[in-house]
A and B are shown apart, each in its own frame.
Chain A
Amino acid sequence: MLQYEKFTLSNGLRVIVNTDTSTPLVAMNILYEVGARDETSDKTGFAHLFEHLMFGGSVNIPNYDEPLQMAGGENNAFTNNDFTNYYLTIPVQNLETAFWLESDRMLSLAFSEKSLDVQRHVVVEEFRQRYLNQPYGDAWLLLRPLAYKTHPYQWATIGKEVSHIENATLEDVKSFFHKYYHPGNAILTLSGNITIETAKTLTEKWFGPIPAGNKIIRNIPQEPKQSGKRIADETRDVPYDSLYKCWHCGKRGDADFYATDLITDVLSSGKSSRLYNRLVKDQKIFTTINAYTLGDIDPSLIVAEGKPAAGVSLEQAEEALTLEINNLVHQAVDERELNKVKQKVESGLVFGEMNHGNRALNLAYYEMLGDVSLTNKQVDLYRAVTAEDIQKTAAGIFTESNSNVLFYRSKK
């Protein structure tokens, strides 16, 4: 059980605090509710590029990193399709430095032309390093537009193409900031050696004066139900074929999310999981195979990806995978198997809570989903899933007309 308290400033900033006096550190997490799904199709990759620019100096402080390092702190950030997250840890003595830095960049950025110019290059190199110059690195750049025809999940957070990043202007940066980076669209969480009183005093002092922004009205085009199987066939200079198959599933906030997540655990969590034992070890169809759900805010995907064994074609591999997955539809999982995946989830949640940074992120994440108290309800929500729930959810997801297949072929 994670103890926490929540309060909201008059400008709309939500603040959640978990106190743990056994550590000399404090973790601070600021989540902005903006991600790649908020981009338009001609300016993709922007939320992520913007994340880089948040380190390029703010209105009163020319450099973000230096003062934080001077205070013994460490920080980083990530962007995904739904949100952008900034996090740091700092010795408690210098906690105020974190408030000073984070509040100033929420107030306003420096909007420097040089920073934009450099970060465009950095992000283009990131695009190359992680997506273009890695074997199979562009698989998601192919899979997303196959699975999504309407929803902005059709592009990855890095963007559709390098040119979108290269063409970003300072005007784009400014309007993005004013729209999304304000207190009402942010969640500030703290975990570690900080009392609720200190948290209230410091947030009021540093974040209180930041003007409230305009409420964001989202009009994200939703994906219509898929009505037929889609197949993409691509050839690349890679040593082996690789298979990607995905199905549309519900969103993170749906009641059946927990069944959906356990489905992928039954399939592929750990060395006792079904896909590994049946398809890799027994039938020797694959050498590696993995399945997971993305758990996005809008309707999401279940994905299976694997590399066929020597002499097995992608088509045969897909058939074997589909047969195995359909077992979940035809037959209820037995109690022991279900208990096993639940216990594994519970263990993962407990181990995850050991880290203050994770705690702060979890609190912010569940608050974003609409209810911070979900943090302490996860184990029970997973525990409540029945074998029937699994079977019913699987039946709703695993139909061929709801599936998208990427045959990623080796040139060799």
Chain B
Amino acid sequence: MSISRIIPPELKIPESVSVLQAEKITVSNGLSLYVINSGNEDVVKLEIIFPAGCSDQMSYALSSTCHQLIDAGTSKMNAQTIAEEFDYYGAYLQTEPGADFKSISLFSLSRFFPSTLNLLKEVMDDAIFPESEITTWKSRNIQSLHVNREKVSWLAKNHFNASVFGSDHPYGFIPDEKFIDAVTQEKLQEFHKTTYGLENAIFILSGKISENEINAVTNCFGSTKMTSDKQVKLPVPAHSKPEKLLIPKKDSIQSGLRIGKQMLPKSHPDFLKLSVVNTILGGYFGSRLMSNIREDKGYTYGIGSGLVPYPGTGSFFISTEVGNDVRNEAIKEIYVELYRLINEPIPQAELDLVKNYLVGSFQRSLDGPFSLADRFKGLILHNLDYNYFDRYLETLATIKPEDIAEMAAKHLHPDSMTEIIAG
């Protein structure tokens, strides 16, 4: 069979993408339980999300420490016993502390789910934060803080957030000894009492889910009294003036760069278009930043840009690590790329490529039960529903070169950027 290797095979871009939606289950005590039943493996993930907002950096530090130490002991079991139990079932916990939400996820083989779930409930309800565990946690965290301070990427990232969101806002948090020293058993116990109420918690159950798994959840949590936490609203971060900061790191052979600004929340009408602009600039391997600064000039191992959404705001950033000898050239090229987005219409072929790539990425992000659960979480935590996905595909289908330039001019002007160099 003779084939042409010069002419690419014909492409078909799927016009619609089917999304398996989460189903809301009614529980007698009013618990918010959502179920995503998908996949072939006998596994379950239960994520419980608590909307426990933090008013300042200290409360964020304490709230997240409380969360990290949630499985450090109960009145009946010490940390090792708890770990033994989860490990014995091959189950594991993942805790995600955040300034707006904190979540705990249980991953379990289905056949052990009722047992691991009961264990999770006991651990969450009866956490006591033993002194010895706090001490171990402190020494480990002090050490990792000191190691992190040696990393230019860590320095650039943290100082960027502090600059963009303000050094007293939880989003601008920079880990520091003062936050570690302030942790006491009493404070952790207080945060435990006030930030884990079920009234506003969201339960997302995903995997191969049958009646058995749903019953396990309702048996375990369905008769628990619904308590409500005091809802703390995060302060609105001030819009800081763009600044250029050099964080000195002596003897470093590379510099960490982070350039960006405060940005729109996910619910803003421009956000979807802006996410396409971000992809063009630095959101995939063939992006303009990668093509220019890595693939053409060889200045870096990697460069990228991203949008980080928070409930009421967000951030946009470009980040890379480059050799000190080419640092200024790399920064110059970053701005060249920003101006190019604003001043030159994107060639249709490049835009088509990005649109196709994003449809594929969207499909990948929905592959498997846990991915579906993550995408659902990304909607519900930002007060969005599944229509958002339709709007996304609609945006990909209709976005034009003029939209790209308009969005870039409106939101990504170089003069509006904060620039952090660590090195």
Binding site for B on A (CB under 8 A): 20, 22-25, 59-61, 65-67, 69-75, 89-91, 93-94, 96-97, 99-100, 103-104, 107, 117-123, 125-126, 128-130, 132-136, 205-206, 208-209, 237-240, 269-273, 277, 280-281, 284, 287-288, 307, 309-310, 336, 339-341, 343-348, 350-351, 353-356
In the complex, chain B residues 169-200 whose Cβ is within 8 Å of any chain A Cβ = none
Set B12, B42, B144, B298: member contacting A350, Cβ < 8 A: B42
Residues in B lying within 8 Å of A, measured CB to CB: 1, 3, 5-6, 8-9, 11-14, 17-18, 38-43, 71, 79-80, 83-84, 86-92, 107, 109, 132-133, 136, 139-140, 143-144, 146-147, 149-152, 251-254, 284-286, 294-301, 321-323, 352-354, 356-357, 359-361, 363-364, 367-370
Closest to B364 in A: A89
Q: Which 7 A-B pairs have the closest CB atoms?
A: A72-B360, A121-B298, A347-B90, A272-B83, A271-B83, A96-B9, A126-B301
Distance between Cα atoms of A314 and B323 in the complex (Å): 33
A140 to B132, CA, bound (A): 33
- By a CB distance below 8 angstroms, the chain B residues around A208 are 1
Residue of B nearest to A97 (CB): B9
Contacting residue for B298 out of A75, A93, A119, CB 8 A? A119
Task: Check B357 against A70 for contact (C-beta < 8 Å).
Answer: yes
Cβ contact within 8 Å between A94 and B298: no
Q: A72-B363, A135-B151, A272-B83 are in contact. Are A354 and B370 (CB under 8 A)?
A: yes
Q: In the bound complex, how far is the Cα of B136 from the Cα of A287, in angstroms?
A: 7
Q: State whether A125 touches B301 (Cβ < 8 A).
A: yes
Chain A residues contacting B369 (CB-CB under 8 Å) are 354
Do the beta carbons of B357 and A67 come within 8 Å of each other? no
Q: Which residues of A sit under 8 angstroms from B300, Cβ to Cβ?
A: 122, 125, 129
> Given A121-B297, A348-B90, 12 more contacts at CB 8 Å?
A23-B368, A70-B353, A96-B9, A99-B9, A128-B253, A209-B1, A240-B147, A270-B92, A288-B143, A346-B90, A350-B109, A351-B43
Bound complex: CA A136 to CA B143 (Å): 13
B286 adjacent to A69 (CB under 8 Å): yes
A271 to B300, CA, bound (A): 37
B352 contacts which of A20, A70, A93, A117 (Cβ < 8 Å)? A70
Is the CB–CB distance between B363 and A24 below 8 Å?
A: yes
Task: List residues of chain A with CB within 8 A of the CB of B352.
Answer: 70
Compute how far the CA of A284 lies from the CA of B90 in the bound complex, rounded to whole angstroms.
27
- Residues on the A chain within 8 Å of B1, using CB: 205, 208-209
Contact B150 A135 (CB under 8 A): yes
A151 to B394 Cα, complex, angstroms: 57
| Complex contact B286–A74 (CB within 8 A) | no
Complex-state Cα separation, A310 to B356, whole angstroms: 54
* CA of A401 to CA of B146, assembled, Å: 35
Q: A70 contacts which chain B residues (CB < 8 A)?
A: 8, 11, 352-353, 356-357
Listed by A's residue number, 16 A-B pairs whose Cβ atoms lie within 8 Å are A65-B285, A69-B284, A96-B9, A99-B9, A125-B300, A133-B253, A133-B321, A136-B147, A240-B147, A270-B83, A287-B140, A340-B88, A350-B41, A350-B42, A351-B41, A354-B369
A207 CB, min distance to chain B CBs, angstroms: 11
Q: Contact between A128 and B41 (Cβ–Cβ < 8 Å)? A: no
Shortest Cβ distance from residue B256 to the other chain A in the assembled complex, whole angstroms: 9
Determine if B9 and A118 form an interchain contact, defined as CB atoms under 8 angstroms apart: no
Contact A24 B14 (CB under 8 A): yes
A100 to B285, CA, bound (A): 20
Q: How far is the CA of A103 from the CA of B89 in the complex (A)?
A: 44
Residues of A within 8 A of B322 (CB): 125
Q: Which residues of B contact A344 (CB under 8 A)?
A: 87, 90
- CB contacts (< 8 Å) of B363 on chain A: these are 24-25, 72, 91
Closest to B368 in A: A354
- How far apart are A57's CB and chain B's nearest CB, in angstroms? 11
Let me know if A347 and B5 touch, CB within 8 A: no
Cα A71 to Cα B359 in complex, Å, equals 9
A411 to B41, CA, bound (A): 50
A25: chain B residues within 8 A (beta carbon): 363-364, 367
Given A70-B352, A104-B5, verify A97-B84 contact (CB < 8 Å).
Answer: no
Tell me, in angstroms, the Cα distance from A287 to B338 when the chains sit together: 44
Do A355 and B368 touch across chains, with their CB atoms under 8 A apart? yes
The reply to whether A347 and B143 form a contact with Cβ atoms under 8 Å apart is no
Q: How far is the CA of A80 from the CA of B75 in the complex (A)?
A: 47
Known: A74-B360, A100-B9. A93 touches B14 (CB 8 A): yes
Assuming the contacts A74-B361, A135-B150, A271-B83, asked whether A307 and B143 have C-beta atoms less than 8 A apart, the reply is: yes
Whole-angstrom CA separation of A67 from B354 in the bound complex: 11
* Closest CB in chain B relative to A71 CB, distance in Å: 5
* List of B residues within 8 angstroms of A240 by Cβ: 143, 146-147
Q: Which of B12, B136, B152, B359 contacts A133 (CB 8 A)?
A: B152
Give Cα A237–Cα B146 distance, bound, in whole angstroms. 12
User: Smallest Cβ distance from B364 to chain A, in angstroms?
Assistant: 6
Distance between Cα atoms of A77 and B368 in the complex (Å): 22
Whole-angstrom CA separation of A339 from B112 in the bound complex = 14
Q: Which A residues are CB-close (under 8 A) to B286?
A: 65-66, 69
Q: Which residues of A sit under 8 angstroms from B5, Cβ to Cβ? A: 59-61, 100, 103-104, 107
Which residues in A have their C-beta under 8 angstroms from that of B133?
A: 281
Residue from B71, B107, B136, B144 in contact with A281 in the complex, judged by beta carbons closer than 8 Å: B136
Q: How far is the CB of B336 from chain A (nearest CB, A)?
A: 18
Flag if B367 contacts A97 (CB, 8 Å): no
Report the separation of the CA atoms of residues A61 and B354 in the bound assembly, to the nearest whole angstrom: 19
With a cutoff of 8 Å between Cβ atoms, the chain B residues found around residue A128 in the complex are 253-254, 323
| Complex interface: chain A residues within 8 A of B41 (CB) | 350-351, 353-354
Chain A residues with CB under 8 A of B79: 271, 281
Q: Which among B107, B364, B368 is the interface contact of A74 at CB below 8 angstroms?
A: B364
Query: Which residues from chain A contact B42 at a C-beta distance below 8 Å?
Result: 350
Q: Pick from B11, B146, B254, B354: contact of A129, CB below 8 A.
A: B254
CB of B181 to closest CB in A, whole Å: 15
Docked CA distance A120–B368 (Å): 38
> B16 to nearest A CB, angstroms?
11
Looking at the assembled complex, report how far the CB atom of B285 sits from the nearest CB atom of chain A, in whole angstroms.
6
Complex contacts, A66 vs chain B, CB 8 Å = 286, 353
Contact B285 A270 (CB under 8 A): no
Bound-state Cα–Cα, A15 to B348, Å: 38
Give Cα A67 to B9, complex, Å.
Answer: 10
Given contacts A72-B357, A100-B9, A281-B136, contact A22 B40 (CB under 8 A): yes
The answer to whether B87 touches A270 (Cβ under 8 A) is yes
Q: A133: which B residues are within 8 A, CB to CB? A: 152, 252-254, 321
Contact A118 B43 (CB under 8 A): no
What CA separation (Å) do A271 and B322 show in the bound complex? 37
State whether A134 touches B151 (Cβ < 8 A): yes
Of B139, B295, B300, B360, the most chain A CB neighbours within 10 A belong to B360
- A239 x B146 contact (CB < 8 A): yes
Which residues of chain A are within 8 angstroms of B6 by Cβ–Cβ distance?
Answer: 60-61
Whether A343 and B88, one on each chain, are in contact in the complex, defined by CB atoms closer than 8 angstroms, is yes
Question: Is A239's CB under 8 angstroms from B298's CB?
Answer: no
Q: How far is the CB of B11 from chain A (nearest CB, A)?
A: 5
Contacts of B251 in A (CB 8 A): 237
Given contacts A66-B286, A69-B284, contact A343 B139 (CB under 8 A): no
A310 to B143, CA, bound (A): 9
Closest to A132 in B: B253
